Amino acid sequence: MFRFAHPGILYLLIIIPLLVFFYLLVAARKRRAIATFGDPGLLKALMPLRSPRREAARFALVLAALFFIIVGGAGPRFGSKLQQVKREGVELIIALDVSNSMLAQDIKPSRLQAAKQAISRVVEKLNNDKIGLIVFAGDAYVQLPITTDYSSAKFFLQTIDTDIVPVQGTAIGAAVSLAMKSFTPESKTSKAIIVITDGENHQDDAILAAKNAREQGIYVHAVGMGLAQGAPIPEPRAPGEYMKDAGGNVIISKLDEETLKAIAKAGEGLFVRASDTNVGLNTLLDEINRMDKALIEERVFSDYAEKYQYFLIAGLALLLLEFMILERKNKYLMKIKLFG
């Protein structure tokens, strides 16, 4: 097979016929100019060292060199080569709480925004590991299937807000159960789930879900978003207002640290409490990097073998040869009739 990496460069080949045209035009003008001085046959005898054939040969070498350089610049590729790519890493799924309580601002700029920023920094540090994103509130959804496409991970992360899950609540157990199903089937790689939430679980048995995950060889870590004293929850559609209960009292959302510690213990993972300046994902990433890494991807694909260098070498060699040919005959070598 054959192709060019940069076929647009081949349009420069139009320079060659243009140069030929101007060369013939100049040569014709030279002949007319010489003819004005007298008979060309007599004038030739007066200029024994002039060699039109040498001039034509040098010009032809320049054109050939230009051709090879342009074609080489277009990146010719011949045949194909096989290349094997192996990746070793772990599989990581982050379950992010997007309930309204994550809008509380005891961690700046808010619990949710701080978590998203920390996840983005973790994605930048991943190397050959697979990552997936799950969002949950009253229910859980896969936001990003497990992948090594870190650019997609950062893109989907930017789209996450509290409106992405229509049912409010904090179903941590549902998120852990969905994460268990979202890993690569029958994969032998090490697996971990990171649950990022304020821990106010109101709907299911998250501890039992963490135990089930660990029984399947999956570690469950927990990151507690929020401070012990808590903070009011801003109204998303009423700036400056805070959510209130049925009695008209402002709702204060507090970190449920004990629940998250119990989840992490059941999943044999770590519990990390976020602070106003550090979410703590780097600590968990260090722990995950210590996990056994296995072959998670092995691909064999074909690629074209680059051959541009041969064209460039040929072009430079022709230019060197053109430089070595003198414009005029050498009086000591006139008996050698290479160019007439």
Per-residue 3-state assignment (H helix, E strand, C coil) for 293-317: CEEEEEEEEEEEEECHHHHHHHHHH
pLDDT number for residue 340: 47
Q: Which helix (H) or strand (E) holds 61?
A: helix 52-73
pLDDT number for residue 43: 54
In this predicted structure, the answer to whether residue 19 has a pLDDT above a threshold of 60 is: yes
Query: 127-138: string of b/e by CB count within 10 Å (b at 16+)?
Result: eebbbbbbbbbe
Average pLDDT of the residues in 220-249: 90
Cα–Cα distance, 311 to 70 (Å, whole number): 9
What mean pLDDT value characterizes the chain?
84
Determine the residue type at 78.
F
Query: If DSSP codes are grouped into helix, strand and coil, which group holds residue 90?
Result: coil
- Higher pLDDT: 278 or 141? It is 141
Tokens of 92: 């990581």
pLDDT number for residue 339: 47
Percentage of the chain beyond pLDDT 70 is: 83
Average pLDDT of the residues in 121-148: 92
Tens of pLDDT along 204-228?
789 999 999 999 999 999 999 988 8
In order, the DSSP letters of 190-256 are -EEEEEEE-----SS-HHHHHHHHHHTTEEEEEEE-S-TT-EEPBPTTSTT-B-B-TTSPBPEE---
Question: Which class would CATH give 86-298?
Answer: alpha beta
Query: pLDDT-based confidence at 44, cuts 50/70/90?
Result: low
Q: Which helix (H) or strand (E) holds 144?
A: strand 140-147
CATH 3.40.50.410 in the chain, residues? 86-298
Q: Which helix (H) or strand (E) holds 79?
A: strand 76-89
Name which of 122-126, 214-218, 283-287, 289-293 the model is least confident about.
289-293
In this predicted structure, the answer to whether residue 6 has a pLDDT above a threshold of 90 is: no
Which residues contact residue 144 at a Cβ distance below 8 angstroms, ignoring those fewer than 6 apart?
A: 131, 132, 133, 152, 153, 156, 157
Tokens of 279: 């979410």
Query: pLDDT-based confidence at 283, cuts 50/70/90?
Result: confident
Which residues contact residue 119 at a Cβ distance below 8 angstroms, ignoring those fewer than 6 apart?
A: 94, 96, 133, 157, 196, 281
Tens of pLDDT along 175-187?
999 999 999 988 8
Average pLDDT of the residues in 170-197: 92
In this predicted structure, the answer to whether residue 86 has a pLDDT above a threshold of 80 is: no
The model carries a pTM of: 0.63
Tens of pLDDT along 139-167?
999 999 999 899 999 999 999 999 999 88
Query: pLDDT-based confidence at 127, cuts 50/70/90?
Result: confident
